[in-house]
Amino acid sequence: MEHTERMTTANFTNVIGFILLGFSDDPNLQGFLFGIFLIIYLSILVGNGLIIVITKTDSALQTPMYFFLGNFSFLEICYTSVTLPKMLMDLYTKNRYISFLECAVQLGFFLIFGLTECFLLTVMAYDRYVTICKPLYYSLIMNHNMCVCLVIASCIGSIPGQIGQTCQIFSLPFCGSNKLNHAFCDITPLLEVACGDISMNEYAIYAGVVLFGMAPFLLILTSYVRIITSILKLQSAKGRHKAFSTCSSHLITVSLFFGSGIIMYLRPKSTHFAGTDKVLSLFYNMVTPMFNPLIYSLRNRDVIVAMKKFLPV
C-alpha cells in the first residue's frame, strides 16, 4: 500500500544514482568515524592476512581445518573490501554519491561474498563433523582434492542466485527520493525507495534470503547436534574438552555471522528502523571479520604457536 501511494504521488524517474546518507552529517563526527572505520579496516586486513600467511607457510597447519580457515579469512577481506573503502572515501571526501551501476555491482559482490561465507562456514562444520564423528575415515574423506572442490563449490554456488537477486532488485522501478538511508547499497534501503506494488518482488527476495541463508545455518545446526551427541558419548573428560575446544572457535564465528544476519534480514518489517539496520550492518560487515582472527588465535594453541614463530617477540 505504501509503495502504491508513492507511485501515485511521484512520477517514475530514470534513476542514475543514489545518495548514501551514512551515519551523520556532523563534520566532526564524520572525521571520528573515518578514523574508527580506518582502524577497523586495517585490523581486518592485517589480522586476516596474518591468518592466511601462517596457514599457508606453517607445516603444522597444513590440515583441512586450517586450509578452510585460510580461505575463510581471504573471504572476510573480500567481503569487507566491497563496502568499507567506499564508506571511508565518502567520509573523507564528504561526497556520498554512488551511481546506479556502482550500487548494483556493490550489492552483487556483497551478496556473493556473504553467501560464499555461509557456504564455507557450512563446509567447516562438515569438516568438524567428520573429524569427531568419523575419525577413522577423516583422511580418506577430507583429502586435498575434496577440500579444494568444496571451496570452489562454495564460491561458484553462490554466484548465480545472487546475480539473479541483484538483477531482480535493480529491475524494480525507482522514483521520488534517491536517498538511501544506509552506509552502503543493501537490500532493505533499496526496497524502501522502490516504487509501485513490489510486494511480489519483496516476497521473492526474502524467500531467497531464507533459502540461501537459513539452509546453510540448518545444515550447520544439524552437524553440531551430531557432533555434540558424539562428544557426550566420549568416556574421557580430557577427550570431551579437546573435542569441544576444536569446535568452539567455529561456533563463535557462526553465532556472530548468522546471528546478526538473521536479525537484519529475517525480523518483521515493522521492526526495521534505519538506525538499527545501520548498526547491525556494521556488526556483520565489520565487527565479525575484525574479531575472526582473534577468535581463532586466542582459542587455538596451534595458531598461537604459528603466530609466535611468524612474529618474533
Higher pLDDT, residue 28 or 187: 187
What is the full DSSP assignment across 5-56?
Answer: HHHHHS-B----EEEE--S---HHHHHHHHHHHHHHHHHHHHHHHHHHHHHH
pLDDT at position 77: 95
Q: How many helices (H) and strands (E) does the chain have?
A: 14, 3
pTM of the full structure: 0.86
pLDDT at position 21: 85
Range of the structural domain that residue 217 is part of: 2-310
CA 206/CA 112 separation, integer angstroms: 16
Question: pLDDT tens, 120-169?
Answer: 999 999 999 998 888 889 989 999 999 999 999 999 988 988 888 888 88
pLDDT at 207 over 50: yes
CA 265/CA 198 separation, integer angstroms: 17
Return the CATH number at 183.
Answer: 1.20.1070.10
CA 294/CA 76 separation, integer angstroms: 13
Q: How many CB atoms lie within 10 A of CB 174?
A: 18
**Total number of domains in the chain:** 1
Higher pLDDT, residue 8 or 292: 292
